[in-house]
Chains A and B, each alone.
Chain A
Amino acid sequence: MTDLYLSSLPVGSIATVVGVTGKGIQASRLADLGFLPGTPVTCLRRAPLGDPRLYELRGVQLCLREAEAACIRVSLDG
């Protein structure tokens, strides 16, 4: 088990959300979007210019910019 931020999750790998850092409206919005502890997240691909990235969680595909993905702690299993 290694902890890292979602922004550094390599394309194609799966991790589990540990928690959202940061505060206020942004943290609660990330929870609304499904970033809750224990949720598996896959990094599907990068945009052609590198940022943002496309993630899949809870049956939904979401793009996040690096700044937002860097607020989400995940653990890489295995």
Chain B
Amino acid sequence: MAEASMDAEAPTVRLGLLGSPNSGKTTLFNALTGLRAKVGNYPGVTVERREGSTRVDGRLVQVIDLPGTYGLDPVSPDEAVVARVLAGEVAEVAPPDALILTVDSCSLERSLWFVAQALRLELPTCLVLTMTDELTARGGRIDLERLSAALGIPVVSVVGHRGLGVEELRGQLRDPAAWERPPILPPNDPSERQGWMESVIERVLVQRPERDPLTAAVDRVVLHPLGGSLLFAAVMVFFFQLIFAWATPAMDAIDAAMGAAASGAKTLLPAGLLADFVSDGLIAGVGSVVIFLPQIVLLFGVLYLLEDVGYMARAAFVVDRLMGRIGLEGRAFVALLSSYACAVPGIMATRTIPSPRHRLVTILVAPLMTCSARLPVYALLIGAFVPATMAWGPLGWQGLALLALYLIGAAAALVAAAVLNRTVLRGEAMPFVLELPPYRFPPLRLWASQVWGAASAFLRRAGTIILLVSMVLWVLLTFPQVPAPPGANEAEASRHALENSAAGRLGMAIEPAIAPLGFDWKIGVGLVASLAAREVIVATLAQVYAASEEDEVSLRKAVREDRNPRTGELVFTPATVASLLVFFVFALQCMSTLAVMRRETNSWRWPVFAFGYLLALAYGASFLTYRIVDALWS
């Protein structure tokens, strides 16, 4: 009651977080609201507005996190978000009543130019100096009182990721309307504004920070023409080895737990449809995907570490020239790199790309980058069919096979971009500028919580879309129930039931279309189901084999030993496995990607185009792979 009446007295405040890219806005947003929005040491992590709220003395304060921007004339879609929110042009977002202006204290000399523009918006403004720990470490000093006096607005200094200074900032949030306002606005004319800026710097910058010695030393190695490339290659090879070597024990443990759960369900529940549904439908379906959690955690762990440390921006710098050859730019590379996690954030990340054409090309090829949803599929097939022996020294065949699949995907993305740039889409080049942040070591807790965020998103998918598809599939695999022919033994009877189920008939119907790729009807059912999301094929195969085997065997063993009942040949021959892997390298089987493409390009035209060209590529490449491997093997 008390709170409600207070709300009525003190209207809510809407605060906008404005500032240069990578200046610590989202870190501050998280500290104020308690949310866990994505942060990273790369300019352009936030590409969409995000709202949160907090209470200060019982008063509701809404905070809007915005993408970073260097100026108020937008040059890219993420910067346009800022301009539109400020202008109140976004229908569902009321414009902010006050601004928190973040300035990286180490780049004050550059940032005052933007401060001058922001003050001319004539909203109550509080300046927050971030990264003050780094300023001190680099021997720099800023006189806060003089800065506040020179600008005529309140100034707070913080170390955002450690929460220092955040309480003081909260104190300020009590009443933004009462903040001191500049007596006269900074000049608009460029040369007058520069004069204003230099005079402020002269008064407040007591000691200019030195160049960060660590960043200079590390860059001598990382950006070295030869050393840097070798280092990069070594990191990649190591990474893929790690995915197999380190994840296996944890995966085996989950596998055993799922097996126990399935047989537990069978013994606890009365034999019949319900027991089958729980053990063969739900547990086999969802469990087969959840097994890959350790690998997902490793993948995101490494990706986020590279980003938080500051390596991503360097990678963009190093490969920009190569990207230029195929008509793209370094930032497209970073968008493609984040598509290794998932194409959805990768496609969102293209908002930092100024040129609409570059952006569209990047969106269209992003699905070729090997996203984490393919990992379960690759891991299942490689784990089942590639020997777990060492190829050369500490390098195992399985890790090398996985690395090869990732490389094929990346190469295909680059070739597709070059072709699209020369044919479907043409236009002129746009400027490329990118700021390199200093190397940073984020608190372990922050990194762990971001990795956990990604892992729980994976589990949520398993608990929603994969659970849903598993249930539907179980029904389709179980009904209609056709009585077995007389005299059939148990194995023949369950095979008969499967072949006559709705899903079985669907698989049989499309078998002629996929037979040239070496796929049988069971794989066909999996392919159809995987249109929802790629990893569903693993759940599907798990259900198909759970339904057809009487005793519990691991999915890996089941696919390895499955034989065609008519010919007695193995279903998964080397040629079929290779062909299926190649199909997954190319095909765009993901509803979420299609939806985000539609949203980011504002039309169905591009998602339909992407789906079509990738399906054609997948079919063609699988067909060739099947023929070639088949010929070589026999």
A61 partner residues in chain B, CB cutoff 8 A: 435-436
Q: Which one of A26, A36, A45, A47 contacts B431 once the chains associate, using CB atoms below 8 Å?
A: A26
- A contact residues, range: 20 to 34
Count residues on chain B whose CB falls below 8 Å from chain A CBs: 38
Query: Are A65 and B106 within 8 A (Cβ)?
Result: no
For the complex formed, measure the closest distance between the CB of A75 and the CB atoms of chain B, giving whole angstroms.
Answer: 17
Complex CA–CA separation, A68 to B190 (angstroms): 20
CA distance A37 to B368 in the complex (A): 45
From B106, B211, B321, contact of A47 by CB (8 A): B321
Taking CB atoms, residues of chain B closer than 8 Å to A50 are 321
State in angstroms the CA–CA spacing of A34 and B109 once bound together: 8
Any A CB within 8 A of the CB of B208? yes
B303-325 residues with Cβ-Cβ distance < 8 A to A are 317-318, 320-322, 324
Of the candidates A32, A47, A59, A64, the one whose C-beta lies within 8 Å of that of B108 is A59
Q: Which of B9-17, B67-75, B340-348, B483-491 contacts A (4 or more CB under 8 A)?
A: B67-75
Spot the interface stretch: B223-231, B355-363, B462-470, B560-568: B223-231
Q: Which of A38-76 contact B (CB under 8 A)?
A: 38, 45, 47-52, 54, 56-65, 67-68
Q: Which residues of B contact A25 (CB under 8 A)?
A: 73, 75
| Residue A29 at the chain B interface, CB threshold 8 Å | yes
- Contact call B70/A48, Cβ cutoff below 8 A: no
Question: Do residues A29 and B114 form an inter-chain contact, with CB atoms below 8 A?
Answer: no
Q: Is B6 part of the binding interface, using a Cβ–Cβ cutoff of 8 Å?
A: no
Q: A57-B110, A63-B317 are in contact. Are A51 and B208 (CB under 8 A)?
A: no
Q: Are B432 and A62 in contact (CB under 8 A)?
A: no
Most chain B CB neighbours (cut-off 10 Å) among A25, A56, A58: A58
Q: Judging by beta carbons under 8 Å apart, are B432 and A59 in contact? A: no
Give chain B nearest CB distance to A69 CB in angstroms: 10
Minimum C-beta distance from B528 to chain A (A): 44
Are A29 and B75 in contact (CB-based, < 8 A)?
Answer: yes
B285 to chain A, nearest CB (A): 47
Which chain B residue has the least Cβ–Cβ distance from A27? B190
B73 surroundings in chain A (CB, below 8 A): 25, 28-29
Q: How far is the CB of A48 from the nearest CB of chain B, in Å?
A: 4
Using known A-B contacts A48-B228, A60-B107, A63-B320, determine if residue A68 contacts B113 with beta carbons closer than 8 Å.
no
Residues in A with CB closer than 8 Å to B322 are: 49
Query: Within the assembled complex, what's the spacing in Å between the Cα atoms of A61 and B435?
Result: 6
Q: Are A34 and B432 in contact (CB under 8 A)?
A: no
Interface membership of chain B positions 97-119, coded 1 if the CB is closer than 8 angstroms to chain A and 0 otherwise: 00000000011111001100000
Interface centre among A31, A47, A54 (most CB of B within 10 A): A47
A67-B431 contact given A25-B75, A45-B223, A50-B321, CB 8 Å threshold:
yes
The interface bits of chain B over 324-338 (1 if a CB of A lies within 8 angstroms of the residue's CB, else 0) are 100000100000000
CB of B436 within 8 A of CB of A54, answer yes
Selected contact of A29 from candidates B70, B110, B317, CB within 8 Å: B70
Kindly report which residue of chain B lies nearest to residue A34, judged by CB atoms: B110
Chain B residues within an 8 Å CB radius of A45 = 219, 223
Chain A residue contacts of B194, Cβ below 8 A: 36-38
Does B434 have its Cβ within 8 Å of any Cβ on chain A? yes
Q: 25 interchain pairs (CB within 8 A)?
A: A25-B75, A31-B113, A32-B114, A36-B113, A36-B190, A38-B194, A45-B223, A47-B318, A48-B224, A48-B226, A49-B322, A51-B320, A51-B321, A51-B324, A52-B320, A60-B107, A60-B110, A62-B435, A63-B434, A63-B435, A64-B433, A65-B431, A67-B429, A67-B431, A68-B433
Give me the interface of B with A, judged by CB distance under 8 Å: 70-71, 73, 75, 106-110, 113-114, 190-191, 194, 208-209, 211, 219, 223-226, 228-229, 317-318, 320-322, 324, 330, 429, 431-436
Binding site for B on A (CB under 8 A): 25-26, 28-29, 31-34, 36-38, 45, 47-52, 54, 56-65, 67-68
What 5 A-B pairs have minimum CB-CB distances, sorted nearest first?
A32-B71, A49-B321, A48-B225, A58-B110, A58-B109
